[in-house]
């Protein structure tokens, strides 16, 4: 079976350094798409693979493929009281 690429999508990923080492990666637009890598390079590679598998599952189940279109990103500061 030949698979043709019909589109290329971009997704933001967030890497969080873990205290025990390595990086946990989340994909905010794809709820539940989470992976891990020992290094930043490995974490990014694992994220790419996780996103591809996530999208394949959406296609297989005839579900909507979410995109970053219309996504706004802000950082907010909140006070922390001791």
pLDDT in tens, 17-69: 999 999 999 999 999 999 999 999 999 999 999 999 999 999 999 999 999 98
pTM over the 0.85 mark: no
Q: State how far the Cα of 36 lies from the Cα of 53, in Å rounded to an integer.
A: 15
Domain boundaries, the chain: 14-60
Hey, how many other C-beta atoms are within 10 angstroms of the C-beta on 48? 14
What stretches of the chain show up as alpha helix (H) in DSSP?
Answer: 40-60
- pLDDT tens, position by position, 13-28: 999 999 999 999 999 9
């Amino acid at each position: 079976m030949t698979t043709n690429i019909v589109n290329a999508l971009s997704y933001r990923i967030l890497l969080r350094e873990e205290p025990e080492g390595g990086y946990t990666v989340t994909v905010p637009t794809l709820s539940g798409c989470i992976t891990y890598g020992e290094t930043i390079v490995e974490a990014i590679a694992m994220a790419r693979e996780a996103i591809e598998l996530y999208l394949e599952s959406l296609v297989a189940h005839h579900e909507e493929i979410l995109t970053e279109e219309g996504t706004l990103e802000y950082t907010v500061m909140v006070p922390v009281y001791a």
